[in-house]
Amino acid sequence: MATVLLIGGTGLLGGAIAEELAQRGHAVRALVRSGRHAAKLSALGASLEAGDLRDARAVKRALRDAPVVITTAQGDPLKPKSPLREIDGAATQRLIDMARAAGVPRFVFVSALRADVGAAFVPQLAYKFAAEQVLQASGIPYTIVRPSSFQETFDDGFAPFKRFIETAGIGMTMGSGRGAHSFVAVRDVARTVALSLEHSEALNQIVPVGGPEDLNYRQAYTRIAAITGRRVTIVPAPRFGLKLGGLLAKPVLPELGGFFSFFAFFDRFGYTCVTPDWLVDALGERRSFDDAVRAFYGVGANSSV
Ligand SMILES: NC(=O)c1ccc[n+]([C@@H]2O[C@H](COP(=O)([O-])OP(=O)(O)OC[C@H]3O[C@@H](n4cnc5c(N)ncnc54)[C@H](OP(=O)(O)O)[C@@H]3O)[C@@H](O)[C@H]2O)c1
């Protein structure tokens, strides 16, 4: 099996992809910019290549012997030194150019659902869509994976929603919270990425992936309340408040306002998808939203799922 160069392996999805690839017997080389979480990758048998995606020399080193490339890397609107503009934008596009020059046999790009429609409304989706187009024009055999929102949004970690529930009994919606999402388990997205290397249906395709059920934030909180037995009062953060917050934060966090535009986009267009039949069959059982909640809150028999 070909060696896989994984970029983003220290992140939530990248870590799950590394596990999935290791289980399937792939040799993994991970480009990591710090030791944070890299120990997990080493424990899985991955070899580590120190470097930043923005450093062309490091990328060239990592691309030696033209491995299959998978990238989940993204910037962080809360970290001005790691802007979306550079990571999701210029650096990802240069990675694709360098992969083409190196003769990479397959490139899997983790984009985001509705990157095409959302490009006009949400800066991060515009970067994703631009990178998709560069990849499609590159001639590299590709798969573009477009996940819906992760179920892990409701776990501890990158979003504060679980903390609001636990500390104040508040289910915060950003905007109306009426747009439906096909909330999907990170592990199911990781399996999708690995499966895309094995299934010809994924070759040169855009592959949307969602969970088995569509729910909006209000419905999600109602489920969380029912499963955990907690009282959850739904509190919508008004869109103008998000806009104002983004404007006030601009001098320190210039990308935050643009990131908030995600929520207006969700309200307006929803974030649901139809997962292709071949992938539904290949994935088998996808984790349900209810099982995800049980796992996040340690409730019931399936809490370790
Ligand atoms: N969250 C969702 O609901 C959702 C929905 C659809 C699509 N997606 C997409 O799914 C992908 C994975 O999401 P995630 O939550 O796993 O992301 P994440 O946890 O934020 O991970 C991002 C990864 O990118 C790496 N990275 C960032 N800048 C880098 C640089 N300059 N050089 C090398 N590596 C760099 C990070 O490394 P460090 O550890 O060094 O920071 C980290 O490993 C993202 O592209 C995201 O846009 C997410």
Each residue of 243-287: pLDDT tens digit? 898 899 888 998 998 888 999 999 999 999 999 999 999 999 999
Identify the domain containing residue 119 by its residue range.
4-147+185-209+274-284
Domain count, the chain: 1
* 293 occurs within a structural domain: no
Tell me what pLDDT residue 243 has: 85
At 71, give phi and psi (nearest 5°). -125, 135
Region of 101 on the Ramachandran plot (φ > 0 left; ψ -120 to 50 alpha; else beta): alpha
Q: CB under 6 Å to ligand 1: residues? A: 7-14, 31, 33-34, 36-37, 52-54, 72-75, 82, 87, 110, 112, 147, 149-150, 153
CATH of the domain at 74: 3.40.50.720
Inform me whether the pLDDT recorded for 305 exceeds 50.
no
Q: Among 157-161, 164-168, 300-304, where is mean pLDDT lowest? A: 300-304
Most ligand 1 atoms within 8 A of CB, residue of 71, 72, 174, 184 to mutate: 72
300 pLDDT band, cuts 50/70/90, is: confident
The half-sphere exposure of 32 on its side-chain side, counting CA atoms within 13 A, is: 22
Give residue 157's pLDDT: 87
Question: What is the average pLDDT across 116-134?
Answer: 97
**Cα separation of 107 and 95, whole Å?**
10
Q: Is 213 left (phi over 0), alpha (psi -120 to 50) or beta?
A: beta
Rounded average pLDDT over 213-222: 97
Residue 138 counted as domain residue: yes
Kindly report whether the global pTM for this prediction surpasses the value 0.85: yes
Phi, psi values for residue 236, rounded to 5° = -80, 130
Report if residue 300 sits inside a domain. no
What is the pLDDT at residue 302?
53
32 - beta bridge partners? 50
The answer to whether residue 121 is domain-embedded is: yes
What's the 259 CA to ligand 1 centre distance in angstroms?
14
Q: Residue 156 falls within a domain, yes or no? A: no
How many C-beta atoms surround the C-beta of residue 302 within 10 A?
14
Q: What spacing in Å lies between the alpha carbon of 175 and ligand 1's midpoint?
A: 24
Query: Is residue 109 one of the residues assigned to a domain?
Result: yes
Give the SS3 label for residue 215.
Answer: strand
- Look at residue 246 in the predicted model and tell me its pLDDT: 85
Average pLDDT for residues 193-217, to the nearest whole number?
Answer: 98
Give the model's confidence band at 303: pLDDT under 50 very low, under 70 low, under 90 confident, else very high.
low
Q: What average pLDDT does this structure show over 69-97? A: 96
Among 141, 148, 144, which Cα is nearest to 130's? 144
Indicate whether 229 belongs to any domain. Answer: no
2-43 pLDDT, tens digit per residue, is 899 999 999 999 999 999 999 999 999 999 998 878 999 999
Helix (H/G/I), strand (E/B), else coil: 159: coil
| Whole-number pLDDT of residue 279 | 98
The pLDDT, as a whole number, for residue 34 is: 84
The percent of residues in the chain predicted with pLDDT above 70, rounded, is 98
Please report, for residues 86, 99, 242, 299, the alpha-carbon distance to residue 111 in angstroms, rounded to integers and kept in the order given. Answer: 15, 17, 24, 32
| pLDDT for residue 118 is more than 80 | yes
Q: Which atom of ligand 1 is nearest to the CA of 147?
A: 6
In-domain check, residue 152:
no
DSSP state of 34: S
Distance in Å, CA 73 to ligand 1 centroid: 4
- Cα R_g (the chain), whole angstroms: 19
Give tens-digit pLDDT for 137-161.
999 999 999 999 999 999 998 899 9
